[in-house]
């Protein structure tokens, strides 16, 4: 079977390509490289000894996408392409809606034209807004606090409607919690263009001596140590969740909405300590003001994914930190070296 991976050169897309190739699928990747480098795909080929047919296109370009579908008989799509920085989405809402929603619409339309109706979509725990109870289950109320979150919510609705309209679609909406870590080999990892805005890439930069200290946003949350709590999940576990979802969708046409998290919540200070232990490097930090839009606590109830997809995360915090650190040490300039 041939799987198209949109956003394949990116962080989660590249790790999922490894799992797809290892599972015996043929793969085609498309990416406009707005937040990635195509070397990541070469690295995936190196790890897997596989081949990736790559097209540098924007998924909003329906004509270009159509050409890809003409060249390859695509059986299913994993859709990672999108913009993901919450703060930038607040500054540039039109760009975010255009890219994320416009891109998905174009993709779904072209898929429909080619009668390709199996789709795995990257949603996010952000669709739960500021949930008042933990752990978060899939049937909790949905909301958003920024354009990025709304774009995910709108796409989820769009896909729900496409499924409901009939015609044999099979769709998984996977709600990721906080992916970190890297492939065990240290060959691929997270390397966003520009300044990263997630915790782990910042910790890595401090540990490398590129930044003086880590800014921790908020030390007065209602949590045991005052810092915010998240559900960090190893990117390889996340990637494997996609393979399980794909199997379920191939098995029978259905729509699946599932959390991909570990079910464990760790505070920012827990993360700093775990990282220091795993890497042997100090991570000096200072606690500053809360960041607008950040919530205190967010962790998943992953039991539905286990029941429905026979999937659960296997890696603990130690593996996540060690693997992220290995990637960073082997590739101080990411894919640029």
Ligand X SMILES: NC(=O)c1ccc[n+]([C@@H]2O[C@H](COP(=O)([O-])OP(=O)(O)OC[C@H]3O[C@@H](n4cnc5c(N)ncnc54)[C@H](O)[C@@H]3O)[C@@H](O)[C@H]2O)c1
Part in contact with ligand X (CB under 6 A); list of ranges 3-11, 153-161, 202-210, 263-271: 3-11
Active-site entry in 11, 25, 96, 148: 148
CB 30 within 8 A of CB 78: no
Closer residue to ligand X in complex, CB, 124/244: 124
Q: Per rule CB under 6 A, is residue 31 in the interface with ligand X?
A: yes
- In the complex, the smallest distance separating the C-beta of residue 166 from ligand X, rounded to whole angstroms, is 26
- In the complex, the smallest distance separating the C-beta of residue 55 from ligand X, rounded to whole angstroms, is 9
- Other beta carbons within 10 angstroms of residue 6's beta carbon come to 26
Residue from 5, 12, 78, 127 binding ligand X (CB under 6 A): 12
* Token pair belonging to 62: 């329906």
Long-range contacts (CB closer than 8 Å, 24 or more residues apart) made by 65-69: 65/30, 65/106, 65/107, 65/110, 66/110, 66/113, 68/4, 68/28, 68/30, 69/4, 69/110, 69/111, 69/113, 69/114, 69/116
Q: Per rule CB under 6 A, is residue 32 in the interface with ligand X?
A: yes
Secondary structure letter of residue 126 according to DSSP? G
Q: Per rule CB under 6 A, is residue 257 in the interface with ligand X?
A: no
- In the complex, the smallest distance separating the C-beta of residue 193 from ligand X, rounded to whole angstroms, is 8
Count of residues engaged in binding ligand X, rule: CB under 6 A? 28
Q: Per rule CB under 6 A, is residue 259 in the interface with ligand X?
A: no
- Phi, psi for 229 (deg, rounded to 5): -110, 135
- Strands of the chain, DSSP E: 2-6, 26-30, 52-55, 76-79, 118-124, 170-176, 178-180, 214-217, 229-230, 232-234, 255-260, 266-267, 285-288, 297-298
- In the complex, the smallest distance separating the C-beta of residue 252 from ligand X, rounded to whole angstroms, is 25
x/- mask, ligand X, residues 80-109, rule CB under 6 A, reads xxxxx--------------x---x------
Cα dihedral 185, 204, 83, 41 in deg (nearest 10)? -20
Closer residue to ligand X in complex, CB, 188/249: 188
304 is catalytic: no
Q: Per rule CB under 6 A, is residue 176 in the interface with ligand X?
A: yes
Enumerate the active-site residues. 148
Binding positions for ligand X, rule: CB under 6 A: 7, 9-13, 31-36, 58-60, 80-84, 99, 103, 122, 124, 176, 178-179, 192
């Amino acid at each position: 079977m041939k799987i198209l991976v949109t956003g394949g050169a990116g962080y989660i897309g590249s790790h999922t390509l490894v799992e797809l190739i290892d599972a015996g699928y043929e793969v085609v990747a498309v990416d406009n490289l707005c937040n990635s480098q195509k070397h990541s795909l070469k690295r995936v080929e190196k790890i897997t000894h596989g081949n990736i047919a790559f097209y540098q296109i924007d998924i909003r370009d329906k004509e270009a996408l159509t050409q890809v579908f003409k060249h390859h008989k695509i059986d299913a799509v994993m859709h990672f392409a999108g913009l993901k920085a919450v703060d930038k989405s607040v500054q540039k809402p039109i760009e975010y809606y255009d890219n994320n929603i416009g891109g998905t619409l174009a993709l779904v339309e072209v898929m429909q034209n080619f009668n390709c109706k199996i789709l795995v979509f990257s949603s996010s725990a952000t669709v739960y807004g500021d949930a008042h109870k933990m752990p978060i289950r899939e049937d909790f109320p949905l909301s958003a606090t920024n354009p990025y979150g709304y774009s995910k919510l709108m796409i989820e609705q769009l896909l729900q409607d496409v499924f409901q309209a009939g015609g044999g679609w099979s769709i998984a909406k996977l709600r990721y919690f906080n992916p970190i870590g890297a492939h065990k080999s240290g060959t691929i990892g997270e390397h966003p263009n520009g300044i990263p805005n997630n915790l782990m890439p910042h910790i890595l930069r401090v540990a490398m001596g590129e930044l003086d200290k880590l800014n921790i946003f908020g030390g007065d949350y209602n949590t045991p140590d005052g810092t915010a709590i998240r559900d960090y999940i190893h990117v390889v576990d996340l990637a494997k969740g996609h393979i399980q979802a794909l199997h379920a969708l191939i098995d029978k046409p259905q729509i699946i909405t599932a959390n991909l998290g570990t079910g464990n919540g760790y505070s920012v200070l827990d993360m700093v300590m775990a990282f220091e232990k795993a890497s042997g490097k100090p991570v000096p930090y200072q606690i500053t003001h809360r960041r607008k839009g950040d919530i205190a606590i967010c962790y998943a109830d992953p039991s539905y994914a286990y029941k429905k997809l026979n999937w659960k995360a296997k890696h603990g915090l130690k593996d996540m930190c060690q693997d992220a650190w290995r990637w960073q040490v082997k590739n101080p300039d990411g894919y640029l070296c």
